[in-house]
Structure 1
Amino acid sequence: MTETIGPLEAIPQVKYDPPVIVTTAKALRDYDILRFDDTMENNPITRWAKDRFGVIQVNKWVVSDQNQGLSTRIKLALSNDEELPDVLFVMHESIPDLLGDLVESGKVMDIEEAFRTSAPARIKEAYDKNPDVWKTVTYKGKIWGIPQISDEKVGSPILWIRQDWLNRLGLLPPTTIEELEKVLHAFTYDDPDRNGKQDTIGFALSGKSTLNGWMGDASLLFGMYGDQPFQWNRKADGSLAYGSVEPSVKKALSHLNEWYRLGYLDPNFGTHDEQEAVQLFMSGKAGIISGPGWMGGWPLQEMKIDEPDFEIKPIPYPAGPDGKIGKIGSQISYGAYFFRKGFSYMDAMFAYMDQVYGVLIEDLESDFANGYADGYDYLLKDGKYDYEFDGATNTIANFFLIAPGSTPPGVMQGESIESRVLKGNNNTPFERKMAGTTSRNFLEGQLVTLSQVKYSHSNQFVGPYTPTMTLKWALLQKLEKETMLKMIYGNVPIESFDDFVRQWNEQGGADITREVNEWDRSSQVGDIFKASD
């Protein structure tokens, strides 16, 4: 079994008697499933919190997770001088815009002292091994939240391909750009679905928000030439540069224009969001899509193609013209917890967090080693845990008051759980649960991702908006998206990329680049906070 690294101390026991109320905010999602007359404030998770720690979870706010509902509610509370909930989870895309306002309001607490005195050793270990996550919640030299830590797999894409189409056309999975384009041409023009119509395309691409979204991205082409657009990348000299204005992006846009002209892309890709791009693949219109390895579970496990030889496969990114491979990477954190100034139960919060963390590191002593809740992600029958039943869901975990994210990079040794389960191991409840609730495509997708994670490049600017960003970033993003789509569609020549770069710099980009690098120099982890201090 995989083991954690480093010496660990006994976890302190915390329980309040009488119980204490801790308020939070819930961004409710369509798939937040509750059963058996359970409610948002009375369910297996909230009952566990009360019994284990004497903590009663109460939702001070309930909002929709659509259209940044929680971010809007936070802004409203700050403008009206309202008291914030005790515990507030903010998604990573909202933190740069909200962090400064939260801190300047005086309504959230600096958590450095609480972390040093109350965080268990293995929680500190996780942050010691991933110190850059602190940058996401650092403002004016202090730490203002507990960021979740993401793993290296969750945002690192691979290719998903119609293996049955390859078989019919006598083709092999592509390993180079030349082989990939041969496959794209065949998927577009050689009737791979054998319906006698030219109604398929090679590649499902999402261009509505960016060209490098969380599914249906084009990062394989950008990576073949160098820089990833729509993010800040670290250059050889150590400075940060915005990828979209780097020269290599011009080559990739020219390549995408060629794919568009050759018919490999859907004509309406520029209006497709990530899920619409996925639908092109799932409906049988597109033969290849780029996306994370976990797509082999959701949504691709729901793919219904009425053909006896139907098969999809995860494959690594092919190499570019010069043998180069590159891709977008996971965000270092996908959100953070902020705490109301004056909140006095941080010891319980860290003990709570530690129990949930145990699941991520396969701790058999975790309260959730066998699953989260009977009737949700397992059925308990005669003392045995059954994970394979209709309606099984992990979404009850969305009701945790505080949770640490994914398994942090660097804290586990040995063979991955996906590899062990794929080999048939079922020695632990963690292995048995994964074996019973995931598909072969999910497991293989995760392993393909791991094989190429070294080629991933994450966004290197994770701080709050700079002064010029606050004023001009939205307009620059609009210019960026519109110009790139025009170049791919052929509405403007590729040579106009140079004019775009000039405009971007003149309209605030140069100032933002200077400010981003000032932030980068001032936010080195050694200068602000380390968990082992």
Structure 2
Amino acid sequence: MYRKMMTLLLACTFVFVTACGSGGDKEEAVETAAPIELKDGKYDPPVQMSYLRSWNDDTRFRNGETPQDNVHTKWAKERLGIELTTPWTAAHTNDAFYTKLRLSLSANEELPDVVVIRGDYNLVRELIESGKFADAGALFDQYASKTWKEAADSAPTEWYPYMFEGKRMGIPVYDYAYNSDPVLFIREDWLKKLNLKEPTNIDELEKVMDAFTNQDPDGNGKKDTYGMTAGWKNNFNTWMSETGWVFGMFDTMPGQWNKAADNTLEYGSIQPGIKEGLGTLKDWLDKGYLPKEAGVYDETKAAELFTAGKAGMIVGPHWMPNWPIDDVKKNVKGASYKAIALPKGPTGESHHHGSGASNGVILINKDMKNPEIFFTYQNYLFDNFANPAVGSEFENGFAKGYDYDIVDGKVLGEAEVKDGVAPVKYTLTYDGARIPDLLMETLSKLASGQEPKTPFEKNIKISNKPEVFPAAQVVVDHKGDAIKNEFTGAPTDTMKMKKDALDKMEKDTFSKIVYGQLPLDEFDKFVEKWTSMGGEQITTEVNEWYKSVQN
């Protein structure tokens, strides 16, 4: 009985001390973070929220406004009672923002309430591991609005990069899903002139490429055209003028981690289909179907061949008619083009790289006294800006006189407004708020001939070239063919030491094979070297990460 009483006494003492130890903090938290209330959707008196985000060089201001003081910060204070402050600003270019943020972290400087980062997963991981940020997932569950949660539910894997010790430490900055998935744009007038049909498989594709290369489709009497333009200076599956889909015809995707049949992850660039894809590209180069400079062309340079009327096909996102490929109509009289599905390979496979549904992360300082302030801000944008209602404040844009105006009853877009700028680029998450599935659903709806009804639909209708809509429909119809990069975490320990060398070996080997400087069988030796020089260990680490985020 004595031992039981002592045990109970010690337990009570422990609970008391623990409660006092954290209770002191708790008491202080209650004192300094007293609940704040919204009155008619606004904090009164206003509350402050500090933040950091990078600034792109193309972000323009007017009327003497700055990143710290502009129409967006005025809106936040007037509409929500939130005073936005930023301790410093830095450009996204040349990693200036990342460098300055790392210096702040290493100097143990006080960080703001909210930090938003695009890109640099290493920095994100450093910030998460610093212990300075809160369990963002728990806050999201508590404070996010229904609209925002539904957006998150449509893209659950976007949380994976920010998982740490079983917690969701960062909130994804949601973007439009499938926005970079590629389609094949083909010169429709060339097809008609040469009496060809749209290619649906590799044999038909090669027949069309041969004709576009050798049958003088531009009628100038010279052999100066290509079946297709491409640029893989930076990557095979890049954002425009890409050739990742060539390997997709052989059921793999290079340069990324793909899901295997046993639900593990495998590195795409060492799969058997890559050898067949490399052989195909070599054959096309040898036959002149692709420009010899494809290996040194970046995406934009490669696209110039299409816009100049010298290439009959190009592969890229559905939005390319907006920029740059519609210029072919200006440069070539009578030119027309259309989007079609990517052709199937010898075994009936057709795959392309799949784009994600986020483009950054939101980290919330664990010392932020009232984190609900940030959710009040972002919830409002999701509920009112992401898909605005008729007659709402965002029906025509973010701010009258900036990205839209109304003159004689007519709504003018940003391009028509004198010195028009896009205030949405000033928001904490760069684009205000985006619902992943909304864009493609809208484009598909409009492609079917339905009339736009909502403000979002009307804006999409007037802001896109006519060729964009059927191209988007192709994306929607073939989204099941996408192969997404399943590894979205920070570089593993072995990656940090070995990845640069492995990537260089891969790029050099593939380039030399395609250009005939190495035999095709050199691919098999590359796979052996990649595996023994760290690839096998990286594969193990990648799958350990994959297993951890799925649990």
TM-score by length of 1: 0.89
* Contact preservation (8 Å) 1:421, 1:435: no
Aligned partners of 1:272, 1:72: CA distance in 2, in Å?
30
Seen in structure 2, the aligned counterparts of structure 1 residues 196 and 23 have a Cα distance that, compared at 3 Å, is: farther
2:109 to 82, 85, 98: 82
Specify which structure has the bigger relative contact order, considering alpha-carbon pairs within 8 angstroms and separated by 6 or more residues. Answer: 1
- Alignment of 1:522 with 2:548, yes or no, is yes
**Using the alignment, how far apart are the partners of 1:328 and 1:362 within structure 2?**
31
The answer (yes or no) to whether the contact 1:296–1:443 under 8 Å persists in 2 is no
Residue 357 of structure 2 contacts residue 436 of structure 2 at CA under 8 Å; is this kept in 1?
A: no
Question: Per the alignment, in what secondary structure is the counterpart of residue 217 of structure 2?
Answer: coil
Offset of residue 294 of structure 1: 1.5
Q: Is structure 2 residue 395 aligned with structure 1 residue 369?
A: yes
Is the contact made by 1:118 and 1:350 (CA closer than 8 Å) also made in structure 2?
yes
Tell me which amino acid in the other structure corresponds to 1:436.
I
Distance 1:389 1:464 in 2: 39
Please say which of residues 229-238 and 423-432 is displaced more in the overlay. 423-432
Contact persistence 1:283–1:305 (CA under 8 A) = no
Aligned sequence identity (%): 36
Separation in 2 of the partners of 1:43 and 1:388?
17
Please tell me whether residue 478 in structure 1 is matched to residue 504 in structure 2.
yes
Q: CA RMSD in A?
A: 2.6
Q: State how 1:298-337 maps to structure 2 within 5 Å.
A: 298-303=323-328, 305-337=330-362
Query: Which stretch of the first structure deviates more once superposed, 39-48 or 482-491?
Result: 39-48
* C-alpha separation in 1, matches of 2:283 and 2:259: 29
TM-superposed CA distance for 1:14, in Å, is: 4.7
Q: Retained in 2: the 8 A contact 1:483–1:500?
A: yes
Once the two structures are TM-superposed, the CA of residue 405 in structure 1 deviates from its matched residue by: 5.6
CA drift at 1:244? 0.4
Query: In the TM superposition, what are the counterparts of 1:21-420 in structure 2 within 5 Å?
Result: 21-91=48-118, 93-95=119-121, 97-303=122-328, 305-358=330-383, 359-361=385-387, 363-364=389-390, 367-381=393-407, 385-387=411-413, 390=416, 395-402=422-429, 406-409=434-437, 416-420=442-446
Contact persistence 1:295–1:445 (CA under 8 A): no
Residue 531 of structure 1 corresponds to which residue in structure 2?
none
- Counterpart Cα distance in 1 of 2:297 and 2:59: 26
Question: For structure 1, which runs of at least 5 residues remain unmatched after alignment?
Answer: 1-10, 528-533
Aligned residue pairs: how many?
511
C-alpha change, 1:263 and 1:370, in structure 2 (3 Å) is same
Tell me how far apart the structure 2 counterparts of residues 99 and 391 of structure 1 sit (CA, whole Å).
38
Which residue pairs with 2:465 in the alignment?
439
Q: CA deviation at 1:216?
A: 1.4
State the Cα distance separating 1:214 from its structure 2 match. 1.0
> What residue ranges of structure 2 are gaps of 5+ in the alignment?
1-37
Aligned mates of 1:105, 1:247 — CA distance in 2: 41
Q: 2: CA distance between counterparts of 1:304 and 1:56?
A: 48
Kept in 2: contact 1:241–1:513 (CA 8 A): yes
Deviations 1:220-259 (A, max 9, x none): 2111101101110011111100000111111111111111
Does structure 1 retain, via aligned residues, the 8 Å contact 2:116–2:363?
Answer: yes
- The equivalent of 2:523 in structure 1 is 497
- CA deviation vs aligned residue, 1:327-373 (integer Å, no higher than 9, x gap): 10012422111123312343232232223324444544764233122
- Post-superposition offset of 1:302: 4.6
Amino acid at match of 1:118: Y
Cα distance 1:99–1:369, how it changes in 2: closer, same or farther (>3 A)?
Answer: same
Give the Cα separation in 2 of the matches to 1:439 and 1:322: 35
Assess if the C-alpha contact under 8 Å between 2:229 and 2:311 holds in 1: yes
CA distance in 2 between counterparts of 1:453 and 1:12 reads: 45
TM-fit CA distance, 1:301: 4.0
Q: Once the 2 structures are TM-superposed, how far is the Cα of residue 260 of structure 1 from its aligned partner?
A: 1.1
Is the 8 Å Cα contact of residues 421 and 434 (structure 1) preserved in structure 2?
no
CA offset at residue 383 of structure 1? 5.5
Given the superposition, is the C-alpha separation of residues 460 and 380 from structure 1 closer, same or farther in structure 2, using an over 3 Å criterion? same
Residue 5 of structure 1 is matched in structure 2 by: none
Distance 2:294 2:417 in 1: 34
Report the alpha carbon displacement of residue 424 of structure 1 after superposing the two structures with TM: 5.5
C-alpha contact (below 8 Å) 2:402/2:414 kept by paired residues: no
AA of the residue aligned to 2:93: Q
Cα 1:265/1:345, change in 2 over 3 Å: farther
- Cα deviation for residue 115 of structure 1 reads 1.3
Match 2:494 to one of 468, 474, 480: 468
Question: Which amino acid in the other structure matches residue 435 of structure 1?
Answer: K
Q: Say if 1:168 and 1:69 are closer, same or farther in 2 by CA, change over 3 A.
A: farther
Residues in 1 aligned to 2:372 and 2:409: alpha-carbon distance in whole angstroms:
33
1:166, distance to aligned residue in structure 2 (A) = 1.9
1:350-409 deviations in whole A, cap 9, x for unaligned?
Answer: 232223324444544764233122234321235653338536977432111135764234
Secondary structure at the aligned position of 1:294 is classed as coil
Q: Give 1:449's aligned amino acid.
A: V
Q: State the 1:154 CA deviation.
A: 0.7
The structure with the largest alpha-carbon Rg is: 2
Query: 2: distance between equivalents of 1:223 and 1:523?
Result: 27
Give the superposition deviation at 1:107: 2.6
Q: Report deviation, 1:177.
A: 1.1
